[in-house]
Amino acid sequence: MTSTEEHSAIEALLHRTLAAHKSMFLATAGSDGSWVSGVYFAEDGLHTLVLVLEERGRTLKAIKENPEVALVVSTGSPMEPFLQARGTAVVVDGAEDEAVRQRLVTKVPEVEPFLATPIRAVKVSVPSWRVTDIPNGWLPGKDFSA
């Protein structure tokens, strides 16, 4: 496989894996220590994820203190393709907030009742992904950058 073919294969698996999952694990670190939570998300391209977090939650508090996050998109089985990344999370307002909510509801309709609660919209920029597919020999995973 040429490097161009491999890059295309990695990009295709990244796209399919993001599209196939509605939730991910999001790790943060703030004054209360490190924390991992499960969150619904939608992709806005391959390098931006959008989500909402409860206003009074530990995850949002940590992001406000330290916007650096880590994430995993996975079924939980290492024998199925999974994604890992580091990113930077930003709380958004106004028109961006509404755009995040709309994109999220489009992908994850069951999140709609949650949007009526005290929440904040967040965008996570992901400059580089680690795409792992053990059955196809991608161990260690393959890097995919913006």
The model's pTM is 0.96
pLDDT tens sequence across 53-98: 999 999 999 999 999 999 999 999 999 999 999 999 999 999 999 9
Beta strands in the chain (DSSP E): 23-30, 33-40, 42-43, 48-54, 68-73, 82-92, 119-133, 138-145
Q: Give every CB contact of residue 113 below 8 A, 6+ residues apart in sequence.
A: none
Q: What is the pLDDT of residue 1?
A: 78
* Predicted pLDDT of residue 135: 94
Q: What is the pLDDT, as a whole number, of residue 61?
A: 98
Domain 3-145 in CATH: superfamily?
Electron Transport, Fmn-binding Protein; Chain A (2.30.110.10)
Res 146: pLDDT? 83
User: Given the DSSP bridges, would you call strands 119-133 and 138-145 parallel, antiparallel or unpaired?
Assistant: antiparallel
Number of C-beta neighbours around residue 27 at 10 A: 16
Confidence (pLDDT) at 23:
98
The predicted model gives 38-47 an average pLDDT of: 97
Give the CB-side neighbour count of residue 75, counting CA atoms within 13 A.
Answer: 10
Q: Above 90 in pLDDT, residue 45?
A: yes
pLDDT in tens, 6-37: 999 999 999 999 999 999 999 999 999 999 99
First to last CA, the chain: 21
**Per-residue DSSP letter, 47:** S
Cα 129 to Cα 141: distance, rounded to the nearest angstrom = 9
- Amino acid making up residue 77: S
